[in-house]
Structure 1
Amino acid sequence: MSKYIPAIVVGFLVAVVVSGGLAFFFSSAGADAGYLPMMVGAFLGIFTAYIMANLAGTKLGKAATPEQKQAVLEARPEPGQALLIVYREGFVGKAAGMDLSVDDRFVAQLKSPRFTAISVSPGGHQLSMAFGGLAGKQNKPTLEGFIAAPGDVIAFRATMQMGMMKNRIVVERIESDEALLQRLKPMIMIAPEV
């Protein structure tokens, strides 16, 4: 709850400033605005608090070095390892950070359009994706299993799909070819934390 307090405070301040500003504007113009300034201020305050609460779990990820990004774009897994690439695209929820974990270990948080990549050992793995903050309560987390072999380059694309009650994270496995690498080239790579 405490992580939502700044959102509530800013929303309240927006409501007060907008209501007061509109009331002053209408009174200086000699017009009777009635409840309009208060209603507009309340709406904008609630909207601001809602957006900020959705972003409460979002943090600024550290960009990868040019060398790290170049190694991924050359699709060079470490010897005896596989390379896992996860990228996020789409407009829906693009500012909200999506947490990525592999085998229950946090890897990175991605906004859209961004990507990350890590080396994984051969064998079966679980990739999980979920949101923090209020956005986490509005989106279903997802879990995707995959099997890695030495030298594999495994890529997943994550997008958001709006739903009636809850949004969902759509994950699809993408062919790791030159088209994928060209798609990743203009994106910011977030350095993995593992």
Structure 2
Amino acid sequence: MGRIIKFVVIVMLVSGVTSFLLTALAAGGQRHQADPSFISVVFGMTAGIVFLLFSGTRRVPLADEATRRAVLAEPTAAAGTARLLVVRESKMGMMIGVDVEVDGAVVTQLKSPRFAAITISPGRRVCVAIAQGKRTAPLVVDVADGETAVVRITAGLMGMKLAREDDTPALRATLAKVAMVAPA
């Protein structure tokens, strides 16, 4: 069933149940001036909008403290591999999950504020962030053997963007206070 059909079903069900309950309450006591159909539609639309906002968000396990400290303590990846630190720290849409795609495969999902450490093979990688069916412009990241690249997801009124950042001690100190998504 499509998202729009689910939205309509949720709005109708919540509106119907709310209308029934308000009518039953009004019949049992004094009659109120408020129209139960309007209140029911407001409840139904609110439930539908919440469904649309969070329908793509899934529960992603967080890394334990030892794993997070180990990732942040090592400035480079193991030989023969590279690391991609994907950071999301935005105030807009904090609870909406953003899928992170590397080379066409979704590797994790991030809410805000969170980050993920993804082990990849060295070379040219294409990163995309996807939320609510909208994709960012691809970001091409060249990562050398043993290198750690940082990609930041930012969200604003004009949508999401990906940007590459330098891996600095200040960034790692900031990330030490942020939850890390468990490696896949």
TM-score using structure 2 length: 0.84
- 2:39, 2:127 → 1: CA distance? 43
Q: Structure 2: where are the runs of 5+ without partners?
A: none
- 1:11, 1:182 → 2: CA distance? 45
Partner of residue 37, structure 1: 36
Partner of residue 81, structure 1: 81
Partner of residue 161, structure 2: 170
Report if the CA contact (8 A) 1:158-1:169 is conserved: yes
Indicate yes or no: 2:148 matched with 1:149.
no
Partner of residue 100, structure 2: 100
Deviations 1:110-147 (A, max 9, x none): 1111110112222211011112xxx22xx343311011
Q: Secondary structure at the match of 2:167?
A: coil
Indicate yes or no: 2:123 matched with 1:123.
yes
**Corresponding pairs, count:** 182
Report if the CA contact (8 A) 1:78-1:119 is conserved: no
Percent sequence identity over matched residues?
Answer: 29
Partner of residue 68, structure 2: 69
Q: Could you say if the C-alpha distance between residues 100 and 140 of structure 1 is closer, same or farther in structure 2, counting changes exceeding 3 Å?
A: closer
Report if the CA contact (8 A) 1:69-1:189 is conserved: yes
Q: Secondary structure at the match of 1:142?
A: coil
Q: Secondary structure at the match of 1:41?
A: helix
- 2:63, 2:172 → 1: CA distance? 16
How large is the Cα RMSD of the aligned pairs? Answer: 2.4
* Bigger mean CA deviation after superposition, 8-17 or 149-158: 8-17
Partner of residue 114, structure 1: 114
Quote how far apart the aligned CAs of 1:69 are: 1.3
Q: Secondary structure at the match of 2:138?
A: strand
Q: Could you say if the C-alpha distance between residues 91 and 2 of structure 1 is closer, same or farther in structure 2, counting changes exceeding 3 Å?
A: same
- 2:51, 2:176 → 1: CA distance? 30
Q: Could you say if the C-alpha distance between residues 140 and 19 of structure 1 is closer, same or farther in structure 2, counting changes exceeding 3 Å?
A: same
Deviations 1:48-72 (A, max 9, x none): 1122123122111122233331222
Report if the CA contact (8 A) 2:128-2:162 is conserved: no
Indicate yes or no: 2:146 matched with 1:190.
no
Report if the CA contact (8 A) 2:139-2:163 is conserved: no
